[in-house]
Homo-oligomer: A and B are copies of this chain.
Amino acid sequence: MSIRRSGGRPHVVVVGAGFGGLATVKGLRHADVDVILVDRHNYHLFQPLLYQVASALLDPSDIAHPVRSILRSVPNCDFRLATVTGVDLEQRIVRTTTGDLGYDHLVLATGSATSYFGNQALAGRAYGLKDLGEALALRARVLDVFEQASRTTSPDERRALLTFVIVGAGPTGVEYAGALSELVHHVLKRDFPDIDVSGVDIVLVEAVRTVLSSFAAGLGRRAEAALRRKGVRILFDHLVSEVRDGEVVFASGDRLAAATMIWTAGVSGEAPGGMEGVERAAQGRIRVSPSSLELTGHPAVYAVGDVAACAGPGGRPLPMVAPVAIQQGEQVARVIAARTRGEPDPPSFHYRDRGSMATVGRNVAVAQIGPLRLSGLIGWMAWLFVHLMSLVSFRNRLLVLIGWAWNYVFYDRPVRLIVSPTPPSEIAGGGPTLP
């Protein structure tokens, strides 16, 4: 246990090494503070490309970058690999699995997690697509059901094995549906000559009547048409109520035999424990002031990104996207730096919306950038460029570019591996840890 708040420079604890946490830490690089960045993983994940790991196109290391490597250029920041178990807002202590951390300023950049709306049966049977572990499990699952389908002699079982239900037609659901279709029709078709891939059923389930409802209506319709051309079946106005072994049950009572369900329909802000008395908005997000991004009644405790509910234009909370997290992290860094110098707070936070994009596959993406609406090949090239340039390092950019070029030229998705670490503790119980 090491409580770091002990006179001297103010101590800033930043929880979460996603877009928001990293922006905060980098923004504080020249401030007269000591920063500790806490994350339960030792890498920063470029989440917008996670679905490409899940569809066997990219390697984990193409989109995940070691946090310590990023922090080499931030001398006043230490990293702590730990899971935050709670926050004591009275004592100003963050409790973690590897000891307590005192703070003068606390920045919560804990992001969001897949939400099953409290349905535990759903949580135990659906594949999420929010972190690297989930993406690797989904990649292995898709490959494994094809292996099972190649062995079975029962047509019913084969049909269920080759039915993939993707719930939620937001960007993640749409992008994964397109990528899965390409994996099946360009690659697995050749890997499994015994399987007739025209029998593969990729079903995108959406509660409302549109795909990409956060986009302009015309772009949603274009994405919808592109998905249909790829053979994706879209079920509008459908709600999933239950998942059993090999079966998805809809609220209407209809059933669909499907071995694999991917859930992209709900996310909720992931605040640590000890936040019970704190004001929440929809989706469990912590309400913050639009000026300093502080929690009401808790000065010097800030929240940024998906976990924060910050009212945008029209009073609606800003969306859970990377640019919001990055701009909010920069704002919190400005606020803390100003306060450390005894200066007044910087101007209030104002989100600059640079637009949104989603890709449906080869040559097809939709993008809205200010008044501009792009789709088709132009949208796709804009999508490629923006995502490539946003990656953390030159190495990431180079390898992702090679991966994309490889896929584009050879219609190949090379990372079709079913693999897990096997530590010795699995062999004989009792891992090799120190007493």
Name A's B-contacting residues (CB within 8 A): 2, 41-43, 59-61, 64, 66, 68-69, 72, 78, 80-81, 98-99, 120-121, 123-128, 131-134, 136-137, 140-141, 143-144, 147-148, 151, 153, 157, 160-161, 190-192, 194, 243, 245-246, 259-261, 393, 395, 398-399, 402, 406, 412, 414-425, 427-435
**Main SS class of interface, A:** mixed
Task: Tell which of B60, B124, B422, B429 touches A124, judged by Cβ atoms closer than 8 Å.
Answer: B429
Contact A132–B60 (Cβ < 8 Å): no
Contact B398 A402 (CB under 8 A): yes
Identical copies of this chain, number: 2
- The reply to whether B121 and A428 form a contact with Cβ atoms under 8 Å apart is yes
Give complex CA distance A160, B435 in Å.
11
Q: Is the CB of B41 within 8 A of A133?
A: no
Contacting A123 at CB < 8 Å: which of B121, B148, B424? B424
Q: Which residues of B contact A78 (CB under 8 A)?
A: 194
Cβ contact within 8 Å between A80 and B430: no
Given A137-B422, A160-B434, A414-B395, A81 contacting B147 (CB threshold 8 A): yes
B140 touches A421 (CB 8 A): yes
Could you tell me the distance between the alpha carbons of A128 and B134 in the complex, rounded to whole angstroms?
A: 26
Q: Is the CB of B126 within 8 A of A424?
A: yes
Check A60 against B417 for contact (C-beta < 8 Å). Answer: yes
| Contact indicator B42/A432 (Cβ below 8 Å) | no
Selected contact of A42 from candidates B43, B99, B417, CB within 8 Å: B417
Q: Please state if A141 and B423 are interface contacts (CB–CB under 8 Å).
A: yes
Residue of B nearest to A154 (CB): B434
Contact present for A61 and B414 (CB under 8 Å): yes
Q: How far is the CA of A398 from the CA of B399 in the complex (A)?
A: 10
The reply to whether B125 and A434 contact each other, CB–CB distance below 8 Å, is no
Complex CA gap A417/B42 in Å reads 6
